[in-house]
Chains A and B, each alone.
Chain A
Amino acid sequence: MSEPIDRKTVESVARLARIDLPEDQIDDTASKLGDVLTYIGQLEQVELPDDVEPFFGAIESVNAIRPDQLTDSVDREQILSNAPDADGEFYQVPPVL
């Protein structure tokens, strides 16, 4: 797992992450990701007890629930004002297909 990442994998990861990666930046990105992956590869050496449970966060409580009651929400116009394109009611995006 500590082997540096190849060009093909970098292209596929960029696609999954929805980040345009120009051809001339692939090698540099592979090398930078590879450095970090090599460093975190040291986790392989950590010996763990067989029964260790993963720790995903310091609040290990059950879901927080609240009564299902109507509360005020933020004004739609204000929210849409941050959108690059909206028609007053909906967000607008370029054609999907």
Chain B
Amino acid sequence: MDLSTLSAAELVKRLSSGELTAESCTESFLERIKDRDSSLNSFVSTAESAISAAQAIDERRSTGQAVGALAGLPVAVKDGICTAGIATTAGSRMLEKFVPAFDATMVKQLLSADAVVIGKTNMDEFAMGSSTENSFFGVTKNPWSDQHVPGGSSGGSAACVAADLAPVSIGSDTGGSIRQPAAFCGITGLKPTYGRVSRFGLIAFASSLDQIGPMARSAEDCGLVMNVISGHDSNDSTSAKNDVPDFTQTLNDSLKGLRIGICKEHFGEGLDSEIESAVNESVKVLESLGAETVEISLPHTPYAVATYYVIAPCEASSNLARFDGVRYTHRAATAKDLTEMYCQSRAEGFGEEVKKRIMLGTYALSSGYYDAYYLKASKVRRMIKHDYDSAFEKVDLILGPTTPTTAFKIGEHTQNALAMYLADIYTVSANLAGVPAISIPCGLTSAGMPVGLQLQARSFDEASLLRVAHQFQLQTDWHTRRPNA
């Protein structure tokens, strides 16, 4: 029986009925990873503990004990999220041998629901990148074309789901790092509201922007995972106390009367014409389901990437100060005194992009520049937030393309960082404002590369995103298309 193409919902159903054991399910995915991942490089490591964890779940189930909502479901976790006893590298030489002593809260929640962590996925170093080319552990390939990047920074999490090496995965999104790779790899990826999912145990990049979320083949599967990982955590002071709905309960509610705003700034210069047509076709599908569409404006969109590239590096320069050669693995061998040890360890342990962003943030926060950069950017951020507040007085959701282009070629933007940064032009605003957003597959270009549709909602209204995405996926088959099929 080929399990690899089954949805997470279907796997959970078969596991629950006893038709499938957790052990055979886990083995089957680990086997696929072994067979296929050497060319893809979507995993940094696989979890040796997965089989025994699965056996323990089977044992509990067969003796009539209670099991969790995801019992036996294999899950891949981005390697920037701490897993007790399993190496967690964040794609960096700095953490090459780092083995966390604790599980991130959301990993703990997955394990309490009896999901099985099968491995850790590749990523741009410390989540800084949009292509998964900036990993110490090598480039991850796009399953749709080995000449193309899978997007980033959660490129491994996107690629492994697209290649059917895991039914669901976990990513993190600071400026688009779940949605952009989901779009590039033809899968569904949700960045929840800031505060919805605990970040305790996520290796911090930019703390006012980082958010953890699910990546899967469908909105329904994302909902299953969201039910498990959402909610307040006293270990994360930014975690929200809002009630958590059952995200799978409202998937089939009608879209009649739902107001969807089409953001005009997302259809300007730089948008690939094939993406534009795919998005326009998607609008028709949603209209046929009873949604009303109106044009809206988020006027500060053109400044979002610049705002992000002040705020994110500033926060990163502070967060990454902890990697100093004292507590975490990599230390330069030749340093004679403490300061030299810091400077050499950081020079050796960090890759080029990370060093650049730390220096950028250090510069922008240094005496004499704070007002011009960080304070100004934080005020523009307020305007971006205002844009959303005004838009959501008129509409329930905002629709547009996830990215201006489909996956670019490996190496294409290596020498032009700004071109790479602009891959996030439609996604960064949601992080700056804190609102939830989802990317779902909505087409394939003539070259056969996937196109992503982005929907954004009011804070804490992930349920609407998942409902609209699910209804769209009942009408279309883009999310079922597979590479090489």
Residues of A that sit less than 8 Å from B by CB:
1, 5, 9-10, 13-21, 29, 32-33, 35-37, 39-40, 42-44, 46, 48, 52-59, 63-64, 66, 74-75, 78-79, 81-85, 91, 93-97
Task: Assess whether A58 is in contact with B383, with CB atoms less than 8 Å apart.
Answer: no
List B contacts of A17 (CB < 8 A).
Answer: 317, 346, 355, 358-359, 362
A55 in contact with B381 given A36-B309, A40-B373, A64-B237 (CB within 8 Å): yes
Chain A residues in 8 Å Cβ range of B377: 40, 43
Enumerate B370-407 residues with CB–CB distance to A below 8 Å: 372-373, 375-385
B356 with A33: CB separation less than 8 A: yes
Chain B min CB distance to A14 (Å): 6
Q: Restricting to B317-343, which residues have a CB under 8 Å from any CB of A?
A: 317, 321, 324-331, 335-343
Give the size of the chain B interface in residues (CB under 8 angstroms). 73
Asked whether A95 lies within 8 Å of B375 as measured between CB atoms, the reply is no
Instruction: Give the Cβ gap from B34 to chain A, nearest Cβ, in Å.
Output: 28
Measured CB to CB, the nearest residue on chain B to A81 is: B99
Contact B360 A33 (CB under 8 A): yes
Main secondary structure of the interface of A (DSSP, over half): loop
Chain B min CB distance to A22 (Å): 8
State which of A13, A79, A96 has its C-beta within 8 Å of the C-beta of B337: A96
The CA of A26 and the CA of B198, in the complex, are separated in Å by 39
- Smallest CB separation, A15 vs chain B (Å): 8
- Is residue B481 contacting chain A, with contact meaning CB distance below 8 A? no
Q: Which B residues lie within 8 Å of A83 (CB)? A: 326-329
Q: Tell me the nearest residue of chain A to B431, going by C-beta.
A: A58
- B357 nearest CB neighbor, chain A only: A36
Q: Is B98 an interface residue (CB 8 A)?
A: yes
- Segment touching A, from B215-223, B261-269, B300-308: B300-308
16 A-B contact pairs sorted by A residue (CB < 8 Å): A5-B363, A13-B359, A14-B359, A18-B324, A19-B343, A19-B355, A20-B343, A20-B344, A29-B359, A37-B360, A39-B421, A54-B378, A82-B328, A84-B329, A84-B331, A96-B337
A66 — which chain B residues lie within 8 A by C-beta? 234
Is A18 touching B373 in the complex (CB atoms < 8 A)?
A: no
Are A36 and B417 in touch, CB under 8 angstroms? yes
Cβ distance A29 to chain B, nearest Cβ, rounded Å: 7
Q: Which residues of B contact A32 (CB under 8 A)?
A: 356, 417
Contact A48 B379 (CB under 8 A): yes
Nearest 7 interchain pairs by C-beta: A58-B434, A54-B378, A57-B208, A84-B331, A20-B347, A55-B382, A58-B194
B193 contacts across to A, CB distance below 8 A: 58
Evaluate contact between A1 and B373: CB separation under 8 angstroms: yes
Interface centre among A15, A16, A58, A91 (most CB of B within 10 A): A58
Known contacts A39-B418, A55-B385, A57-B238; A1 and B341 CB within 8 A of each other: no
Q: Among the listed B208, B326, B380, which residue makes an inter-chain contact with A48, where contact means beta carbons less than 8 Å apart? A: B380
Interface pair B434/A29, CB less than 8 Å apart:
no
Query: How far is A94 from B331 in the complex, measured between Cα atoms in Å?
Result: 11
Q: How far is the CB of A97 from chain B (nearest CB, A)?
A: 7
* Cβ-defined contact, A55 with B378, below 8 A: yes
A56 adjacent to B208 (CB under 8 Å):
yes
Cβ of B294 < 8 Å from any Cβ of A?
no
- What is the CA–CA distance of A91 and B99 in the complex, to the nearest angstrom? 17
B227 within 8 A of A: no
